[in-house]
Amino acid sequence: MLSGDTVIEGTEHWAFKDDVKLFLWNKKRALNTNHQGTILFVHGSSWCSQPTFDLHVEGRPWSSVMDFFTSKGYDTWCFDNEGYGRSDKHRDINFGVENGAQDIVAVTDYILKQDSIKQVLLYGISSGALKSALFTQWHPDRVSRLALDAFVWTGEGSPTLVERKKMLPKLVGVNRRPFNREVIQSVFDRDRPGTADQKMIDAFADASLALDDSVPTGTYIDMCTKLPLIDPLKITVPTIIMRGEFDGIAGVDDLIEFFRRLPNTDKHFAVMPGVAHASFQQTNYLLVYDVLYSFFHQYPAEFLAQ
């Protein structure tokens, strides 16, 4: 077992969606471990991939979720959606949810070929969960298991979206919104201040602001005006719904009804105590890892039936 303070080396890759260049980051499993699967992590609306999934903070063991899973025998990938981080930002659009799902098509085209595999374990958080679910509707054959964290279905019972809708006049017709330390801090404070350590937030802000000083408006607008974007009856793969105890993006009843309609009986619903919206950056992040690892590591139903 690797130490939680060990940094595993990663490599950058590039995928193409027509003329759009998408940045990918890959970390391979630890040496002398059997391949447990390949995970693709999909980020949310307000920051890009590496700060979200490969953040290193001194004194915070396994701060990088990618390092944690590579130590368990998984190959891990993340990528910047178009409009974020190192990926192209030149198109005059607001980079909404459907565009982000199209990014996953291009990214999985690359990963499946690069790693000579047929499926990925797919994790998405917040608007990344919406993108991941929409992609899974289109390409269920590419997803072995789907994790939807900080997910929202219809938007009913969401205090975050109630407040966000008040921002719509400033968002509609504008492709990008300002991104600074105040914006980052507000995400960590809006549900339950104190669920994330300030040292981590500051390190996260440093890493994020090195890559973006503005972020797209599209997913915010879509989550306020277009829900529901996902039909649970079309999510046919094994799925887990992960909800932080204090997360304000989705009401519990909204998620339970979505969960009830999922057709695959290999489905799970996890409420994570002490966790607000940005799961991997919370003080209770190791519990989040445990929930996700248990789901990804579960034996397939057809194996258990033998």
127's tokens: 């608007």
Region label for 94, one of left (φ > 0), alpha (ψ between -120 and 50) or beta (otherwise): alpha
Cα–Cα distance, 62 to 56 (Å, whole number): 8
**pLDDT at residue 1 above 50?**
no
Give bridge partners of residue 75 from the DSSP assignment. 38
Give bridge partners of residue 39 from the DSSP assignment. 76, 121
Let me know if 1 is exposed, middle or buried by CB neighbors in 10 A (0-12, 13-18, 19+): exposed
Task: Give the CATH number of domain 11-304.
Answer: 3.40.50.1820
Per the prediction, the chain carries an average pLDDT of: 95
pLDDT average, residue stretch 44-63: 96
- Domain parsing of the chain, residue ranges: 11-304
Q: How confident is the model at residue 303 (pLDDT cuts 50, 70, 90)?
A: low
Q: In angstroms, how far is CA 53 from the centroid of its own chain?
A: 9
* DSSP single-letter state for residue 277: S
Cα–Cα distance, 59 to 42 (Å, whole number): 26
Let me know if 234 is exposed, middle or buried by CB neighbors in 10 A (0-12, 13-18, 19+): middle
**pLDDT at residue 198 above 80?**
yes
pLDDT average, residue stretch 184-203: 96
Instruction: Give the H/E segment covering residue 107.
Output: helix 97-114
pLDDT average, residue stretch 143-156: 98
